[in-house]
Chain A
Amino acid sequence: MGKRILSCAEALSEALHEEMERDDSIFIIGEDITAHDGIFGQFKGLYKRFPDRVIDTPISETCIIGAGLGAALTGMRPLVDMHFADFVTTAMDEIANQTAKIRYMSGGQVSIPMVIWAPDGGGLRAAAHHSQCLESWFVHLPGIKVVIPSEPADVKGLIKSALRDDDPVIFFQHKRLFSEKGPVPEGEYLIPLGKADIKRKGSDITIITYSRMTYLCLEAAKTLKDEGIDVEIIDLRTLKPLDFELISESISHTYHALIVHEACLTGGFGAEIAALIGEKLFDYLDAPVRRLASKDVPIPFSPVMEDYVIPQVKDIIDAVKETLRG
């Protein structure tokens, strides 16, 4: 099977074209998605191809999520565009109290096949209302699956799986990765939810990361290689369900673990992974597990401050060395 080079945005829209062609119960709903194919161009060509199934809404987030939820309860498979991940706050009741709980509260009477698509992340000098990484909120919410891919091929394979999944999935895509390009297989393929991927094989330390930080970790690994440090990088891709098996396999031969994410440190998903490693892999560890994450502040506007708050390649290099020093 051949491969093409596509951006993350192109991989997404290609996947959506294929899925909407395959299943006419899939529709996309959100703010500003018809005029410019989505504010990041992420829905390229979809409105033209499926004019009845790409639906612009008023600025009404509670009812945008509700529109997805009510439709999912009655036979449709919506993809709800949250515009910016930050805006989930304006529809949190609909996500947390309704979407995540209705199947359970009803004793399993219904499935809710719904994808909440949420572009997240900083680095765009967009300040605190347009830069957050909120994945850990949803990991902490029973009833929702959390997908957060990095590279284009994973975006495509995972969004297709998310759309075919019968449970609500929140699907984060980092805004700074939309134009990031990579090889994408030709033809139909799916990546199952809950499967992590090793993006770089190595023997000295395991970095567990996801989303944009995967790229920064790969960058750091290049420098570290020159210094004789061989890094293994796991891109989790899905936080819930979590592929802890792959983490175990990796740490059982590297004996060191560093977790890197862009969301702020305290209560972040890194804490969960660190706890699991502590509980289940303590005997394998030659040094304490470390976490590298954004500092515990809202994302500041001024670039000098934003770059100080969000981990950079150099921070990752330093954190790897500190972890290895024990």
Chain B
Amino acid sequence: MKISKKEKLKLYRKMLLIRAFEEKAGLLFKEGHVPGFIHLSIGEEASAVGTCSVLREDDYIASTHRGHGHLIAKGADPKFMFAELLGKATGYCKGKGGSMHIADFSLGILGANGVVGGGFPIIIGAGLSIKLRKTKQVAVVFFGDGAANRGTFHEACNMASIWKLPVVFVCENNLYASTTPAKYALAGGSVAKRASAYAIPGYEVDGNDVLSVRETVGRAVKRAREGKGPSIVENRTYRFRGHFEGDPQRYRTEEEIQQYLKNDPIERFKKILLRDGILSESEDNRMRREVQDEIEDAVRYAMESPFPKPQDALSDLYTNWRIDNG
């Protein structure tokens, strides 16, 4: 898949933006500004960015509880995301969703999802809708190694295959479903290999190599757009942080984490860009400063935004009927 130097830098910047967003979100959480709990995607930026880089604006994605990266990669605005994380009225969901339910339907973001494997059935509907409406859109569902063990995965792969739906299943196999190792819970050890049972292509990809992800997902998206049906792409990756912020992580060793930190998708891509003369250290510094400024602006917007009124909890449930039993 051809990619210009300019586009490569765009991918790199997007990855930096996601990293900066997540690091800031972690900090805000630590400082007590974020109610509830959050799941960060630090270390998995290549999967989100590589995947969304081959999508059109009107293509759909269904995301997960670890969705911030997917949303930013699909074009979501960090300032409305931060506002949502903080439970503010100006957030994407007016404070009704929080981290795990951010959506922007105008960008084809059908929502992060609090239920593991919850995106599969929805993406089938989006794929079917594309087929019925005869548009050339594509629908991508992100999911983890844990979700691959849900029945919804099987139902969706089967349905997408028999109907040749324009769907791409993008697995982010980060080796752990919360505390449970994929080594223990994932029969066969591979999500991609399950594709053969559904008579669809399955690819295992170095999920920390943004260009490989882009290349492979690009192939799957092309196939979907041509009406040839779904594919599974399994991006092998690793989450650098716990399942949630504050996770004691007793299920893995510090040595293991240190080992994987050496495989940072951003540092790897940077090396390639430096090697190929696409990026210089000074340009890198400038870009990181820009990204940091963007994040700081977004946080300021969120912090200065008002909270919703308590009574706003009673709106937005039904389209044409307002409940009155508040």
Contacts and interface: CB of A to CB of B under 8 A. Distances in A.
Contacts of A70: 62, 110, 121-129, 139
A298 interface: no
Interface stretch (B88-96, B179-187, B208-216, B273-281): B88-96
B317 interface: yes
Interface stretch (B25-33, B43-51, B148-156): B148-156
Contact of B94 (A66, A74, A93, A107): A107
Contact of A62 (B97, B111, B126, B155): B155
B175 to A, nearest CB: 25
Contacts of A67: 121, 124-125, 128, 159
A107 B115 contact: no
A108 B96 CA distance: 9
A241 B106 CA distance: 30
Interface in B304-326: 315-321, 323
A109 B96 contact: no
B123 A107 contact: no
Interface residues of B, number: 49
B122 A73 contact: yes
A66 B156 contact: yes
Nearest to A91: B121
Given A66-B125, A74-B126, A58 B317 contact: no
B105 interface: yes
A3 to B, nearest CB: 30
Contact of B110 (A29, A73, A93, A142): A73
A229 interface: no
B98 to A, nearest CB: 9
A105 B128 contact: no
A158 to B, nearest CB: 15
B95 A107 contact: yes
Interface of A: 27, 29, 52-53, 55, 57-58, 60, 62-63, 65-76, 78, 93-94, 97-98, 102-111, 142-143, 145, 165-167, 194, 241
4 pairs of A and B residues whose beta carbons are closest in the complex:
A66-B121, A70-B125, A108-B316, A107-B94
